C-alpha cells in the first residue's frame, strides 16, 4: 500500500462528503418490487425503473430458471468467438421487432451500447449534435468519436436548427437525444427533430431507455408515442429498466448498420456475451411487454392518480404524463426541504429519492417519484399521504 496515494484518495472522498454529494447505498433484503424490505423495515418503493413490474414477475423468473438448466450459467466468451447461442439471436430479433427496426445488436448494457455506437459510425468530418441533457453514457460515447461535436439546449428545436446550420457541410450529421429525460420525465420532441433531420439531411439517434416497453400505444417507445416510428435511424436502449430490469442493452437499426457494429464496435467485440438466463428472462419480459396493454394502462392510471392527488394537495409538479413525476422544491431552501422530506417519508415506509445540485440545476431541487404497474391504487394513496405528512413536519 502506498500511504500517500490512499491519503489523497481519502481526502477526495471527504471532500465529496463535505460538498453533500456522497451517495450511500440502501440495502434491500428482498427482490426488487413495489414492496421491499430494508434493514430499517418494510417500504413502498417509488424509485425503481421497474415500470411494468417485471423485475420479479413469475414468468420472467421461470424463463430465466429454465435457461439455467438448458443453457448453463455463463458464456465464458465474447460473441464472435464462441459466445452466441440461439437465445442471443432470438433476443436480438425480438428487440428489433419491438422497436420496429430491421435488426438489433446486444451489449452488456446500454452504457456499452452508447459507448460502442458513435466511434464506429461517425468519424472525422462527421458531426454529432447532442441534446445538453443527454445521458452520461451518450456523452462518453460521443467523446470516443473523432466527429465534430455540437450541443443544443434541452428539447429546443430553434437551437437545434442553429447547430444544424453550424454543422452544414459535414459528411454525416446525426442528432442524438434521450427519448425521455430521466430527471424531468419529459419527452424529446421527436416529430420536430425528425422534420429538421429531413430538412438538413441528418440522421436521428434516440436512446429510449426510459420508454422501451411501455411508452406509446403498444409500448414500442417514444418514437411510437410521437408518431415517428419509421423515421428514427438508430435506437439504443436498455433491458435493465422496464424489460425485466436485469442487464443488457442494444443498438437497433438497419441490418447493414448492425452488421458493421458486429465487426467494429469495441464493447461488443471485447466484452463477454450476456448470460443465457438474462437473455431468456429478457425475452420473457419482452413477451409480457408486447402483450401488456393492461400493465401499461395500470401504469398510466397510477401516474394520473398520483399527479392529480399531488396537485390537489398543493405540491408543485413538472407537468407531463410519463411515470417519472418530479415533485419540485424550488428556491434556496429547496434542496434541504427535498432531502428532509425524502428522509421523513422513508421513516413512514415510503422510499423516494431527492435530487439537488449538481444532479439538477441550482434552485430546481426535487423528489423524483417513479410509478409502476406493480403499485396498487392504495400504494399511490399511501405515497401521497406520506408526502403531505412529511411536508407538514419539514416545511
Ligand X SMILES: *Cc1c(COP(=O)(O)O)cnc(C)c1O
Single out the residue of 101, 163, 209, 370 in contact with ligand X (rule: CB under 6 A): 209
Question: Looking only at residues 238 through 267 of this chain, which bind ligand X when binding is defined by CB under 6 A?
Answer: 238, 240, 249
Read off φ and ψ for residue 206, nearest 5 degrees. -120, 130
Q: Which of 88, 135, 241, 375 is catalytic?
A: 241
Binding part of the chain for ligand X, among 150-158, 207-215, 310-318, 370-378 by CB under 6 A, reads: 207-215
Contact in structure between 245 and 54 (CB atoms under 8 Å): yes
DSSP string, 280-292: HHHHHHHHHHHT-
Min separation Cβ 169 and ligand X, Å: 30
Q: Which of 108, 130, 137, 182 is catalytic?
A: 182
Contact in structure between 8 and 2 (CB atoms under 8 Å): no
Phi-psi domain of 272 (left: phi exceeds 0; alpha: psi -120 through 50; beta: other):
beta
Min separation Cβ 210 and ligand X, Å: 5
Q: What is the size of the binding site for ligand X (CB under 6 A)? A: 13
Question: Looking only at residues 90 through 129 of this chain, which bind ligand X when binding is defined by CB under 6 A?
Answer: 109-111
Question: Looking only at residues 272 through 301 of this chain, which bind ligand X when binding is defined by CB under 6 A?
Answer: none
Read off φ and ψ for residue 192, nearest 5 degrees. -65, -40
Task: Lay out the site mask for ligand X across 128-167 (x = CB under 6 A, - = otherwise).
Answer: -------x-x------------------------------
By the rule CB under 6 A, 51 interacts with ligand X = no
Judge if the upstream peptide bond of residue 358 is cis by omega within 30 degrees of 0: yes
Please say if 210 is a catalytic residue.
Answer: yes
Contact in structure between 206 and 238 (CB atoms under 8 Å): no
By the rule CB under 6 A, 223 interacts with ligand X = no
CB closer to ligand X out of 110 and 127: 110
Q: Which of 57, 135, 210, 322 is catalytic?
A: 210
Please say if 135 is a catalytic residue.
Answer: no
Please say if 241 is a catalytic residue.
Answer: yes
Q: Which of 245, 176, 234 is nearest to 210 (CA)?
A: 245
Alpha-carbon span 21 to 34, nearest angstrom: 27
Quote the radius of gyration of the chain (alpha carbons, Å). Answer: 22
Min separation Cβ 232 and ligand X, Å: 15
Q: Which of 272, 260, 271 is nearest to 234 (CA)?
A: 260
Three cell numbers, residue 154:
434541452
- Return residues touching ligand X (CB under 6 A): 109-111, 135, 137, 178, 182, 207, 209-210, 238, 240, 249
Amino acid at each position: 500500500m502506498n500511504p500517500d496515494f490512499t491519503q489523497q484518495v481519502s481526502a477526495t472522498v471527504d471532500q465529496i462528503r463535505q460538498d453533500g454529494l456522497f451517495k450511500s447505498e440502501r440495502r434491500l433484503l428482498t427482490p426488487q418490487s413495489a414492496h421491499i424490505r430494508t434493514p430499517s423495515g418494510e417500504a413502498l418503493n417509488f424509485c425503481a425503473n421497474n415500470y411494468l413490474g417485471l423485475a420479479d414477475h413469475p414468468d420472467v423468473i421461470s424463463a430465466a430458471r429454465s435457461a439455467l438448466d438448458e443453457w448453463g450459467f455463463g458464456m465464458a466468451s465474447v460473441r464472435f468467438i464462441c459466445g452466441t447461442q440461439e437465445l442471443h439471436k432470438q433476443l436480438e430479433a425480438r428487440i428489433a421487432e419491438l422497436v420496429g427496426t430491421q435488426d438489433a445488436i446486444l451489449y452488456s448494457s446500454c452504457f456499452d451500447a452508447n459507448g460502442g455506437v458513435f466511434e464506429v459510425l461517425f468519424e472525422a468530418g462527421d458531426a454529432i449534435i447532442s441534446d445538453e441533457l443527454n445521458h452520461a453514457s451518450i456523452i462518453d460515447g460521443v467523446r470516443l468519436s473523432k466527429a465534430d461535436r455540437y450541443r443544443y439546449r434541452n428539447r429546443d428545436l430553434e437551437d437545434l436548427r442553429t447547430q444544424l446550420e453550424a454543422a452544414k457541410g459535414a459528411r454525416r450529421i446525426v442528432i442524438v437525444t434521450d427519448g425521455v429525460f430521466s430527471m424531468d420525465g419529459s419527452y424529446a420532441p421527436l416529430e420536430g427533430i425528425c422534420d429538421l433531420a429531413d430538412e438538413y439531411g441528418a440522421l436521428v439517434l434516440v436512446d429510449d431507455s426510459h420508454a422501451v416497453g411501455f411508452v406509446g400505444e403498444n409500448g414500442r417507445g417514444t418514437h411510437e408515442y410521437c408518431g415517428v416510428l419509421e423515421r428514427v435511424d438508430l435506437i439504443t436502449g436498455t433491458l435493465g429498466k422496464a424489460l425485466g430490469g436485469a442487464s443488457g442493452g442494444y443498438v437497433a437499426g438497419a441490418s447493414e448498420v448492425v452488421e458493421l457494429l458486429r465487426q467494429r464496435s469495441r464493447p461488443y467485440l471485447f466484452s463477454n456475451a450476456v448470460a443465457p438466463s438474462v437473455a431468456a428472462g429478457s425475452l420473457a419480459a419482452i413477451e409480457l411487454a408486447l402483450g401488456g396493454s393492461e400493465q401499461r394502462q395500470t401504469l398510466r392510471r397510477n401516474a394520473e392518480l398520483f399527479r392529480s392527488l399531488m396537485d390537489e394537495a398543493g405540491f408543485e409538479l413538472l407537468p407531463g404524463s410519463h411515470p417519472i413525476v418530479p415533485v419540485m422544491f424550488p428556491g434556496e431552501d429547496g434542496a434541504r426541504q427535498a432531502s428532509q422530506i425524502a428522509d421523513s417519508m422513508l421513516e413512514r415506509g415510503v422510499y423516494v429519492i431527492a435530487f439537488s445540485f449538481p444532479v439538477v440545476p441550482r434552485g430546481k431541487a426535487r423528489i423524483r417519484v417513479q410509478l409502476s404497474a406493480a403499485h396498487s391504487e392504495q400504494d399511490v394513496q399511501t405515497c401521497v399521504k406520506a408526502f403531505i405528512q412529511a411536508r407538514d413536519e419539514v416545511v
